[in-house]
Amino acid sequence: MVQIDGFKFIDGGVCAAKGFVAGGINAHVKKNSKKNDLAIVYCETMCNAAALYTQNKVKGAPITVTKKHLENGKAQAVVVNSGNANTCNANGIEIAEGMCELTAKALGLSADDIIVASTGVIGQQMTMEPFNDNIPALAKTLSADGWNAACEAIMTTDTRKKMFAVEFELDGKTCHIGGMSKGSGMINPNMATMLGFVTTDVSITSAMLDKALRTVNAVTYNMVSVDGDTSTNDTLAIMASGLAGNNEISAEGEAFDKFVKGLYAVMMNLARETARDGEGATRLMECIVTNAPTQKDAQVVAKSVISSSLLKAAIFAADANWGRILCAIGYADADFDISKVSVDLASKAGKIAVCENGAGVDFSEDEAYKILSEDEIQILVDLHESGNGEATAWGCDLTYDYVKINAEYRS
């Protein structure tokens, strides 16, 4: 976990913020499943809300329904399943709307005030059978302690739960932001992650909530890649109960900036964990680019480096094949002089220079191997341009297990 000054990390996930409860249950969405695969997050009051979605032309039916429900910037609950993406199904809209209707009836809400999401196998037939009894049963168990069960329910090939929450002050009021997300494979976010849900008790308008979400997403989830595939079901949603009692944030300023920083603390750590938990991964790759002409140039270069399959394979072997880093930098669509570029490799085992002025330098292969054998690797790229653009991107190594997991995904 990366600490951020001024923000205290606490337990609670999506239930850390005032007014929110959650829960998860095994609804057997996927036959023979032995884990929770259905979750609900509910707030005791109507929330201002915003969401971002995949840019894939193929979109899961829940996205169509959720977009419609959030046209007014309001929501009070989330219902989400894993095990079946509800994508490319003739009855997909009917299923997504049916999930909302069942949840609404169980919680005494309007179906239009519910966010719905699904993740899992694409193009598999789906029925309402797993939800007819299990949604009402789950609704009766929601509690402030249900954040763990809810997080488990959204996992597919994930090997670890991804949950963070922070506490901070605004206008003398104690405020909270908490979140959970899932994603391990088919990760190359384009406006969102596979599934992410954030809750807060900060009082903030829907418009400013949307602005904050877009701002932070651009430097967190959008800077992650596991395998270069953009999911059909990417959904990142945030709900704000306003129960902290701060003065409502309705414009940019000091309060908005602090909220954005808190949101970054949660989403950046969720994004890092998404990369760390890439399917079959053994190492987290973090590429930090400095002294780029612009932030956009830095982002393009950093994302290019962590997306290189050749580099990812080299990192798996702890091989300091720095030429693959230069290659990935070189085909990045950014403005810089490659002859000025320097690259260092670093981890808790040390730091070593492998490239200066676009060319290799003498270094100890044994020392480099030791550095690259740690579970968190930093690739430090200095473009040495006159601008002050900086960016960080996160990825993971490419292992034999990635192929095995995806070869057997439907089974």
Residue 45 CB neighbours (<10 A): 12
User: Which domains, from first to last, does the chain contain?
Assistant: 8-276 (3.60.70.12), 284-407 (3.10.20.340)
- Angstrom distance (rounded) from CA 20 to CA 10: 15
> What integer pLDDT is reported at residue 411 of this predicted model?
55
Task: Name the nearest CA neighbour of 406 among 152, 122, 189.
Answer: 122
- Angstrom distance (rounded) from CA 255 to CA 204: 10
Which two three-digit tokens encode residue 139?
Answer: 């609704």
Model confidence pLDDT, tens digit, residues 255-288: 999 999 999 999 999 999 988 887 788 999 999 9
3-state secondary structure of 338: helix
Computed over every residue of the chain, the mean pLDDT equals: 93
Active site residues: 193
Model confidence pLDDT, tens digit, residues 287-345: 999 999 999 999 999 999 999 999 999 999 999 999 999 999 999 999 999 999 999 99
* Cβ proximity of 394 and 275 under 8 Å: yes
> What integer pLDDT is reported at residue 42 of this predicted model?
98
> What integer pLDDT is reported at residue 156 of this predicted model?
84
* Cβ proximity of 65 and 93 under 8 Å: yes
Which two three-digit tokens encode residue 193?
Answer: 């992650």
> What integer pLDDT is reported at residue 312 of this predicted model?
94
Task: Name the nearest CA neighbour of 385 among 342, 327, 325.
Answer: 342
Which two three-digit tokens encode residue 184?
Answer: 């391990």
Model confidence pLDDT, tens digit, residues 27-49: 999 888 889 999 999 999 999 99
pLDDT tier for residue 63 given thresholds of 50, 70 and 90:
very high
pLDDT tier for residue 121 given thresholds of 50, 70 and 90:
confident
Q: With pLDDT > 70 as the criterion, what percentage of the chain qualifies? A: 96
Using a cut of 0.75, tell me whether the model's pTM lies above it.
Answer: yes
**What average pLDDT does range 148-153 have in this prediction?**
97
**What average pLDDT does range 106-122 have in this prediction?**
95
Task: Name the nearest CA neighbour of 165 among 152, 175, 150, 154.
Answer: 175
Model confidence pLDDT, tens digit, residues 174-195: 999 999 998 765 556 664 557 9
Which two three-digit tokens encode residue 238?
Answer: 């945030």
- Angstrom distance (rounded) from CA 185 to CA 216: 22
